[in-house]
Structure formats: C-alpha cells, structure tokens
Structure 1
Amino acid sequence: MMSNSDADREKDDEILRAWSVQLTDALEVHGLDVDIKSVLGLAGRAAHGVLRPAAPLTTFVAGYAAGIAAASGDVTPEAAVSAALDRAFQLCREHAAAAEQA
C-alpha cells in the first residue's frame, strides 16, 4: 500500500515528466531525455549550499554551458550535460565548504 507521500511523490514525478516533454517540445529540443532527478538535485544543492535563489541561476548556467559544449561538436550532448552538472555540483560543494570555514 502506498502512503500519501508516496502517492504525492509519484504524482509530482508524473507532472514533472509531462512538463519536461511539453517544455522540450515547445523549445524544439525534441527527444531530449532530461535527468530530472539530477537537475533537481543540483538545484537543491545550490539552494542549500549557496543561497536559495542560486538554484534556478545554477541550473540555467549549467544548462547553457552544456548547450554550448554540445554545439561545439567536441562532445555528445549527454557528455556535455554530465560534465556541466558534475562541475556545478562540485562548485556548490566547494562553496558550501568555504562558507562553513568562514
């Protein structure tokens, strides 16, 4: 039996998947498989490790960087996204650690 929070989480996941498809289609990046969990994880890390408004800023800049890297043709889009997310996560961790030491 699913708890209310499990049902709520499942409903949220369904809404986010549908929104992702609608958004990528509207922006003409058809077929883009968004790793929603990683993007939300990065947003959470930025919000808690830097400052709450850093969440959308961080995900936007990481996505922009991934797009530029993928457009260069030097890496696959998947590799570009992975590298941008990894680097952004690293920067968030470093920022949080430096803030703790200050």
Structure 2
Amino acid sequence: MNVLAEWTALVCKELGIDPERIDRDAVLDLTRDVAHGVARPAAPLTAYLLGLAQGAGTAAPDALETLSTLARNWGQATAETLGDH
C-alpha cells in the first residue's frame, strides 16, 4: 500500500467514511484542474467546499465534473467576464 492509500484509509476511518465511496482519482483530477486553471490555493478549498455540499446534500450529481470544467475554462470565463464591463 502506498502512502496516499494509507493516508486515505486512515482519514476515512477517522471520519467514519467508507473508503469505497471515495473516487480518489476524480478528486485529484479536480484539484489539479483548479490548481493549474485557477490558483493553487483554490484547489484544497474547492475540494473542501465540494465535500461540504455533498455532505449537506446540495451538490448536483455531476458537481465534481462541473467544477473541473469551470476550472479548465477559468481563463476564458474570466476574460469574457472582464470584457463585459
């Protein structure tokens, strides 16, 4: 077992989460997209906010994919938003 798998298992145990419910690769992809597309500090914050929304039951089923798409298109969306003013 590698360090990431060990850490994930330990955190899941501590938080009472079934590790089988975690799509680790999807979360890592999301944080990569946000870190590279928006800003590095936005990556863990985004993951945390997504977790809060999922825990509260307010996240759409495709929220992770939607956030990744938003992050990948951040530069374009920002340019379009700034161009509207």
Q: TM-score range with shorter-chain normalisation?
A: 0.7 to 0.9
How many pairs does the alignment contain? 81
How far apart, CA to CA, are the structure 2 residues paired with 1:53 and 1:32?
Answer: 27
Distance 1:31 1:46, change over 3 A: closer
Percent identical residues: 33
1:46 is matched with 34
Aligned match for 1:87, one of 48, 51, 66: 66
1:3 is matched with none
How far apart, CA to CA, are the structure 1 residues paired with 2:51 and 2:79?
Answer: 27
Could you list the runs of 5+ residues in structure 1 that have no partner in the other structure? 1-10, 73-79
Whether the 8 Å contact between 2:30 and 2:64 is mirrored in structure 1 is yes
Whether the 8 Å contact between 1:63 and 1:84 is mirrored in structure 2 is no
Whether the 8 Å contact between 1:43 and 1:56 is mirrored in structure 2 is yes
Distance 1:31 1:55, change over 3 A: closer
Residues 16-61 of structure 1: per-residue CA shift (max 9 Å, x gap): 1111111011011234432111111111111111111001011111
Distance 1:43 1:81, change over 3 A: farther
2:76 is matched with 97
Q: CA deviation at 1:84?
A: 2.2
CA RMSD of aligned residues (A): 2.5
What letter corresponds to residue 68 of structure 2 in structure 1?
Answer: F
Distance 1:93 1:85, change over 3 A: same
